[in-house]
């Protein structure tokens, strides 16, 4: 009979991947917001990247250390529970920041009429519950594919952030050039 228990290295990779998922998603979302509002926010992209890098490293180390005792003492139940919880939170955060982006108007401090968005809120709630139930019911499958899922979400987040940031910078250069089609 073949031993199917995960190796320490595999468990370490699981812990690293889910520990990076939430901080990278938050940092990429913050960077995208910064780039979308470059004219209204002080600071350079380099300053924002350095601050977000410090945040990602600090948050990832904190989340990694949260689960490290369970890895070291081989408490598989707690380790899996925390990993799946972090995976679920990371996936939900990614969905919230990339899929559920509703046009609620200008955020200028004026009142937002939330009653207009009841369907959106119900849709979000349904999706949150569906993801949580799916991860709980299929926990073995999600536990097996944690590294792949977290890596896919992280890679997707980084690629889309780089793509949209490049598009925003290019648009700002073109608009700053007086609407000319070429950049001089």
Provide the residue ranges of all domains of the chain, joining segments of one domain with +: 8-100+117-176
Is this structure's pTM higher than 0.75? yes
Residues in Cβ contact with 183 at an 8 Å cutoff, skipping those fewer than 6 apart: 173, 174, 177
pLDDT at residue number 178: 42
Tokens encoding 182 = 């070429």
Residue ranges of alpha helices (H) inside 99-144 are 118-137, 139-144
| Portion of the chain with pLDDT greater than 70, in percent | 86
Select from 4, 48, 57 the least CA-distant residue to 29.
48
pLDDT of 111 strictly over 90: no
pLDDT in tens, 138-183: 999 999 999 999 999 999 999 988 887 765 555 555 555 444 443 3
């Amino acid at each position: 009979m073949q031993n199917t228990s995960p190796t320490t290295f595999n468990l370490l990779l699981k812990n690293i991947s889910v520990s990076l998922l939430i901080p990278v998603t938050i940092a990429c979302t913050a960077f995208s917001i910064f780039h979308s509002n470059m004219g209204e926010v002080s600071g350079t992209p380099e300053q924002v990247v350095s601050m977000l890098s410090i945040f990602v490293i600090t948050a990832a180390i904190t989340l990694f250390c949260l689960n490290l005792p369970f890895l070291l003492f081989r408490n598989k139940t707690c380790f899996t529970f925390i990993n799946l919880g972090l995976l679920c939170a990371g996936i939900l955060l990614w969905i919230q920041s990339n899929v559920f982006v509703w046009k609620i108007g200008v955020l200028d401090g004026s009142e937002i009429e939330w009653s207009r968005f009841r369907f959106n809120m119900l849709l979000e709630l349904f999706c949150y519950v569906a993801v949580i139930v799916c991860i709980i019911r299929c926990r073995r499958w999600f536990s097996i594919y944690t590294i792949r899922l977290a890596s896919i979400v992280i890679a997707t987040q980084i690629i889309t952030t780089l793509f949209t940031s490049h598009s925003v910078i290019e648009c700002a250069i073109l608009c700053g050039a007086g609407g000319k089609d070429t950049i001089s």
